Amino acid sequence: MKALTKTNFNFPGQTHFYQGKVRDVYSLENELLVMVASDRISAFDVVLPKGIPGKGQVLNQIANYFLDATEDIVPNWKKVMADPMVTIGTKAEPFKVEMVIRGYLTGHAWRTYKSGLRELCGVALPEGMVENQAFPEAIITPTTKADQGLHDEDISREAILAQGIVSESDYLQLEAYTKALFQKGQAMAKERGLILVDTKYEFGKNAQGEIILIDEIHTPDSSRYFYAEGYEERLQAGEPQRQLSKEFVREWLMANGFQGKDGQKVPEMTEAFVQEVSDRYAELFEKITGQSFEAQNSNDPETRIQENVLQHLKQLS
């Protein structure tokens, strides 16, 4: 199964192309976007040198699963899943913040807490907490949405409003949507024996000025999941939680001396490690959706994608 790490399409009516860390986004006339979920993988805001077969399909299909499940909470950008790796949807002007919401003290929040700080993005953190413990209630810790090549930065609600990055009325709506989406995501995860630990959402405004959910939702790239079974026992014993997320990739990188800092070199990604990551992504898809993962074993994903997108663009025109 070939990893798709780069695309170079030229669709009818194409006006712009943008390559993100993972997604390739094609802007078309008539306010349409074609978003290709590549098999690239990033950590510490660095795109790693090898792609992960099946990863793009997993991300796209999980995102579609949750976009459909949450469209009653907030309108979203999706029009159609044109290919296992591609969604076609509506253009929006993105807000320059990502709405990160955390239900548990883990990952970046734990590293901050362990360093002795008791505040994250202007939110006070309770004393006496341990790693992976649930917060009394979920906290929102936004980040600035960095331009290509720059790091996302933590920012407080107060700074967002003071700098005029988002208006107060819009930000209050973003907070309300974030809390409602997280609550729904946690409930759906619980049904599958998982805990949705933390996640991030991106929002934008469409041509009509309506706030809509854009990009991905509740995927392993944007979210962290723990297995519910054994959570409490592991917490009490101070043991690491069993989790389905990209955190194990970050941990592997840190164990091999890489945290995305200047002068550090990405360790060699062996075929065995690449396969392990691929298997983990497929496992999450099956665990969170309850569906079997059917990998698209295509040696020419570019041709398949082009044919599928063209077919759906004709139907949308």
Residues of the chain with CATH 3.30.470.20: 94-245
Does the domain at 14-92+270-316 match CATH 3.20.20.70? Answer given as: no
164-203 burial, b if ≥16 CB within 10 A, otherwise e? ebbeeeebeebeebbeebbebbbebbeeeebbbbbbbbbb
pLDDT at 317: 77
DSSP 63: H
CATH architecture label of 94-245: 2-Layer Sandwich (3.30)
Distance of alpha carbon 223 from alpha carbon 104, whole angstroms: 12
pLDDT at 235: 98
pLDDT at 151: 65
Token pair listed for 211:
């706030």
Beta bridge partners of 16: 27
Distance of alpha carbon 171 from alpha carbon 175, whole angstroms: 6
Residues of the chain with CATH 3.30.200.20: 14-92+270-316
Structural contact between residues 75 and 11, judged by C-beta atoms closer than 8 angstroms: no
pLDDT at 185: 97
pLDDT at 96: 96
pLDDT at 23: 94
Identify the segments of the chain with pLDDT beneath 50: none
Indicate the pTM of the whole model.
Answer: 0.90
pLDDT at 14: 97
pLDDT at 288: 92
DSSP 131: T
Distance of alpha carbon 99 from alpha carbon 213, whole angstroms: 11
For every residue of 161-221, DSSP letters joined together read HHTTSS-HHHHHHHHHHHHHHHHHHHHHHHHTTEEEEEEEEEEEE-TTS-EEEES--S-TT
How many C-beta atoms surround the C-beta of residue 133 within 10 A? 15
